[in-house]
């Protein structure tokens, strides 16, 4: 059974380097580390199949906007021999400071529209998430604008280490399981 890693983000070049697309950035890093075939369309997602550290892996980027990610997630788990409980979802988390990585295996969406869409489509809250802190805007700035903006210069300098650590977290989940990976990554200092 392959590991199914779903990165949440928005399609379109204007969103490519935004905070909301940090999940896609982690997939880029995972694919760089492994051996993956060409990207192809499967339903409402772009997928790449390959191997990473000797494990079969499918990376998937929903081609819907973030708040409709569940449609793609449902199609993926219907097609691949992976249940929603075994999928790994990688996404931004505005409630965390930039660089905080947290693995979560159940619970509510915390207001994240992409995660909520997956919950609605899969009809469960029980799936593994790698939450990547992107921070909240200062003052009364709009959260939606914040996550749809690109990282500022200081954040961009820190981003490679954050993406690298989030990719490490995904690999640890695949190799050791979510609970041991939680012990390793959830207590770690913010990068």
161 lies in a domain?
yes
Count, residues in the chain: 191
**Residue 183: both structure tokens together:** 């012990």
Task: With respect to residue 27, please indicate whether it lies within any of the assigned structural domains.
Answer: yes
In a domain, 127, yes or no: yes
Query: Average pLDDT for residues 100-125, to the nearest whole number?
Result: 96
Q: Is 20 annotated in the active site?
A: yes
Domain count, the chain: 1
The string of pLDDT tens digits covering residues 34-56 is 999 999 999 999 999 999 999 99
Closest to 98 in 3D by CA, of 65, 46, 58, 138: 138
User: How far is Cα 88 from Cα 129, in angstroms, rounded to an integer?
Assistant: 6
* 155 lies in some domain: yes
Residue 190 lies in a domain: no
* Segment 14-41, tens digit of pLDDT: 999 999 999 999 999 999 999 999 999 9
Model-level pTM? 0.95
For residue 75, the Cα-to-chain-centroid distance in whole angstroms is 17
Residue 150 domain-assigned (yes or no) = yes
Q: Which domain holds residue 162?
A: 3-185
Of the residues 20, 40, 91, 146, which is catalytic?
Answer: 20
Instruction: Tell me the CATH number at 26.
Output: 3.40.50.1470
Evaluate whether residue 191 is within a structural domain: no
The answer to whether residue 144 scores a pLDDT higher than 90 is no
């Amino acid at each position: 059974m392959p590991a199914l890693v779903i990165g949440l983000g928005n399609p379109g070049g204007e969103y490519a380097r935004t905070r909301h697309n940090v999940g896609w950035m982690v997939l880029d890093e995972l694919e760089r580390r492994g051996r993956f075939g060409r990207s192809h369309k499967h339903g409402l997602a772009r997928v790449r199949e390959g191997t990473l550290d000797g494990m079969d892996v499918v990376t998937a980027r929903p081609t819907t906007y973030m708040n409709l990610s569940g449609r793609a997630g449902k199609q993926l788990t219907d097609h691949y021999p992976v249940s929603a409980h075994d999928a790994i979802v990688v996404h931004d988390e505005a409630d965390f400071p930039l660089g905080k990585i947290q693995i979560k295996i159940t619970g509510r969406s915390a207001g994240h529209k992409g995660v909520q869409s997956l919950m609605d489509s899969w009809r469960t809250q029980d799936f593994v998430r790698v939450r990547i802190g992107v921070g909240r805007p200062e003052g009364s700035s709009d959260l939606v604008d914040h996550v749809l903006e690109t990282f500022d210069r200081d954040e961009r300098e820190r981003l490679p280490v954050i993406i690298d650590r989030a990719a490490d977290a995904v690999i640890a989940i695949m190799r050791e399981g979510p609970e041991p990976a939680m012990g390793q990554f959830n207590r770690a200092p913010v990068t």
